Amino acid sequence: MSGNIAGNPDVMTLQEDCIRESSYCGSVFTYPSTENNQGAVTINVTAMNGNSGCLPPGETTCGYVVDNNSLQFTCGGSVLTYTKN
């Protein structure tokens, strides 16, 4: 999925073991699967490179909205939108 963080291009990939990675943040993170198209989810970041706009290591609860082609997270003051490639 492609998106941007703080105006910088980012690609979020999903690994076979359900671990996700962010190209801009250099982060490795997980969050539980969701059944609804909106709600709240706790994201657990286990690694990151320190770039501006990235979630810090640890757990952060974010709102999410999913539709057919996109996934949007709202984490504090940041809104991250990703679209299917």
Distance, in Å, from the CA atom of 23 to the CA atom of 40, rounded to the nearest integer, reads 23
> Average pLDDT in the 56-62 region?
94
Structure tokens at 44: 């657990």
Tell me the residue range of the domain where 27 lies.
2-83
The pTM (predicted TM-score) of the whole model is: 0.85
Side-chain-side CA neighbours of 42 within 13 Å: the count stands at 4
Q: What is the mean pLDDT of the chain?
A: 91
Q: What tens digit of pLDDT does each residue of 66-85 get?
A: 998 999 999 988 888 999 88
Structure tokens at 61: 């609860």
**What's the domain count of the chain?**
1
> Other C-beta atoms within 10 Å of 30: how many?
14
